[in-house]
Copies of this chain bind each other. A is one copy, B any other.
Amino acid sequence: MAEAISKTPEPPYYAVIFTSLRTEGDRGYAAMAKAMSRLASEQPGWLGEESARDGALGITVAYFRDLDSIAAWKAKAEHLAAQRLGRERWYAAYQVRIARVERDYGFTAP
């Protein structure tokens, strides 16, 4: 799991915004989440990942170079999820949004 702000290149690049509401209990969730993150980070075109959860609501944003990288990662991720318990066990609801980052700016304390 990411614990820092991703060092992404100059836009354009892509973001997969995954917002979820967890069910209660782990039931294999932590292991699956770790496997999913590792799978993403091994994908050519992967640029970084940021993740935070406040109780039930979690947001993970994964950054990729292009849509082809996302499609390749998604196919593998779905295969991995199908091998496991299925998302319906871990999530009360989720939304995936695929977005093209057009502009970015930031600040780092000196």
Contact = CB atoms under 8 A, between A and B. Distances in A.
Interface residues of A, number: 44
A98 B104 contact: yes
A97 B17 CA distance: 12
Determine chain A's interface SS by DSSP, over half rule. strand
A17 to B, nearest CB: 6
A21 B53 CA distance: 14
- 5 nearest CB pairs, A to B: A99-B99, A95-B106, A52-B52, A52-B54, A93-B108
A97 B54 contact: no
A92 B52 CA distance: 17
B17 A4 contact: no
A5 B108 contact: no
Contact of A61 (B21, B59, B94, B98): B59
